[in-house]
Amino acid sequence: MINHTRIVRIEDYEELVGAETVERIIRKASSLRDLHVVNVNSTYYGGGVAELLGSMSILMNSVGIKTGWRVIQGSPDFFSITKKMHNALQGGEINLTERKKEIYEEVVYENVIRTHLDHDLVIIHDPQPLPMINHYRKRGPWIWRGHVDLSRPNPELWQYFRPMVEKYDAVIFSIKEYAQELKTPQLFFMPAIDPFSIKNHRLSEEEIDERLSHYNIPTDLPLVVQVSRFDVWKDPQGVVEAFKIARQEVDCTLVLLGNVATDDPEGPEVYASLLDSQEERLIILSVQDTALVNALQSRAAVVLQKSLREGFGLTVTEAMWKGTPVIGGNVGGIRYQIRDGVNGFLVNTVEEAAARIVQVVKGKALRQRLGEAARETVRQNFLLSRNLEQYLDLFSSFETNFTLKHIPVSGKP
């Protein structure tokens, strides 16, 4: 007989956030029991959105809200176009031809035909499935959740997207800096992590050693680590350059661990461009192994997330939860996660990143101080229980005519 693993319930968070918070969440969920919710995005794995949906959909079900998750399908042409759109939303250039828009909308419509969304609430994530709202008779509110850095979106692309976005009943961005001029009410939910997942639960030293040994990662020198999709916005080349400068002063090993999401056709090219840099003390891995991520983030002397744009860095929060100092790019949501010099460091250049690597690797007391503050920051602000409560508040805020009664304010931050 199969021994089914017990799913995480909101009650499991009591030891982390307190009984009062858990009781309040259960009380809010009780008035929403049997609500039927569905999330739609573009990939089951690779990147933070898929990770969030995996854990959040389970946690919502555990409090009595029937929550599903659908993934749209598309051709290579479609995902090439949506990747260009993703880049343009973060400030890149795009040649937005009528043919690109035609392919984009046709593939989305094909997904509409085979995806039956007759739920009480529909949450659409990021630009890939955005136009789905054009083709349904809504039974309840539709929410668009934009996860990317929208501080400087390409004007032409945003002009194209805006009429579709305004058809939604609410829009969620990660931080207020991403707010846009919209008729639709906007809310701001920073993402959060599941502390009980394989990636985030506490590993023993023996378990860490086993994972690192399995991939032939040496542990005789301090580990400098970056975990992220192979994406130019994550600046893996900048990490390599910073490491090469830093190791002129400190002996250490760099591990760049990444993956290639199914909806990101540029990933393999970025990964291939890094391989020429690989050497004995500069290890580049493209594998799907969440236990390895956990082991690296737990054992590292310092973790980097040297992003050039970042809606919100889940890998930053993951490493902070493990009590590991993080050096992050001074951009987007990372600035809400890291308080410079308090629970990590923010950097603007390769040279600044290199200097901070040296400082953290050399400073045992500094590592301990930053790490302890980092874990407490996550406990207070970035656990999934907080994100769940924000969604419950939002769901409760809709009138029967799908308009918001008020902007929810409860739940931290």
Residue-wise DSSP of 348-380: SSHHHHHHHHHHHHH-HHHHHHHHHHHHHHHHH
Give the list of residues 6+ apart from residue 123 with CB closer than 8 angstroms, or none.
37, 38, 39, 40, 142, 143, 144, 145
Instruction: Determine which helix (DSSP H) or strand (DSSP E) holds 225, and give its type and residue range.
Output: strand 223-227
Mean pLDDT, rounded, for 235-242:
96
Q: How confident is the model at residue 216 (pLDDT cuts 50, 70, 90)?
A: very high
Percent of the chain surpassing pLDDT 90? 82
Mean pLDDT, rounded, for 119-144:
96
The pLDDT of residue 267 is 76
Domain with CATH 3.40.50.2000 in the chain: 10-192+383-396, 205-381
Of residues 404 and 81, more confidence is placed in 81
The pLDDT of residue 412 is 40
Q: How confident is the model at residue 266 (pLDDT cuts 50, 70, 90)?
A: confident
pTM: 0.89
* Domain 10-192+383-396 sits in CATH 3.40.50.2000: yes
Mean pLDDT, rounded, for 93-122:
96
The pLDDT of residue 413 is 39
Of residues 408 and 128, more confidence is placed in 128
pLDDT reading at 275 higher than 70: yes
The pLDDT of residue 411 is 39
- Any idea which architecture 205-381 has in CATH? 3-Layer(aba) Sandwich (3.40)
Residue (of 102, 101, 108, 113) closest to 124 by Cα position = 108
Residue (of 140, 105, 146) closest to 122 by Cα position = 140
- Say which amino acid occupies 331: V
Q: What are phi and psi of 35, to 5 degrees?
A: -60, 140
pLDDT reading at 408 higher than 70: no
The pLDDT of residue 271 is 84
The pLDDT of residue 312 is 86
Give pLDDT tens digits for 60-71: 999 999 999 999
Give pLDDT tens digits for 293-347: 999 999 999 999 999 988 888 899 999 999 999 999 999 899 999 999 999 999 9
Give the list of residues 6+ apart from residue 301 with CB closer than 8 angstroms, or none.
222, 223, 224, 252, 325, 360, 361, 367
pLDDT reading at 260 higher than 90: no
The pLDDT of residue 269 is 85
pLDDT reading at 119 higher than 70: yes
Sign of CA dihedral 312, 187, 45, 93: negative
